[in-house]
Amino acid sequence: MDEFNRVDAASVAPPDLRVLPNGKLTVLGTSGQRYMVLPSRERRDLLFLESREGVQYILSIKAPANINDMSLMQRVFANPGWEKAMRPYKRPKRGS
């Protein structure tokens, strides 16, 4: 496992994870931005995060991503470096 996945739980505040009435999971970033968390259909070790402005990001978590596993989501987002580890996502163009 790499440094991103190792967290000293005693030294980190719990992440602000919320399940909306429609069942969608959201997380509050350190920047104050709230992101919707979505699973990847292509790869099990990726999460998609979407900002309120519609900007999409990818976050590799080095484990099977199950957004219904709140224990896993707590561990992933408890690490203060998760926002820096996000990468912009651009949808592949389909057709011509």
Whole-angstrom Cα distance, residue 96 to residue 78?
42
Phi-psi region of 54 (alpha: psi -120 to 50; beta: other; left: phi over 0): left
Q: What pLDDT is stored for residue 66 in this prediction?
A: 85
Backbone angles phi, psi at 84, to 5 degrees: -70, -25
- Kind and range of the H or E element at 74? helix 70-78
Q: What pLDDT is stored for residue 52 in this prediction?
A: 92
Query: Taking the model in full, what pTM does it have?
Result: 0.75
- Could you report the per-residue pLDDT of 7-49, keeping only the tens digit for each? 454 455 678 999 999 989 999 998 899 999 998 888 888 999 9
Contact 36, 62 (CB under 8 A): no
Contact 58, 48 (CB under 8 A): yes
Residues in the chain: 96
Q: Residue 91: is its pLDDT beyond 80? A: no
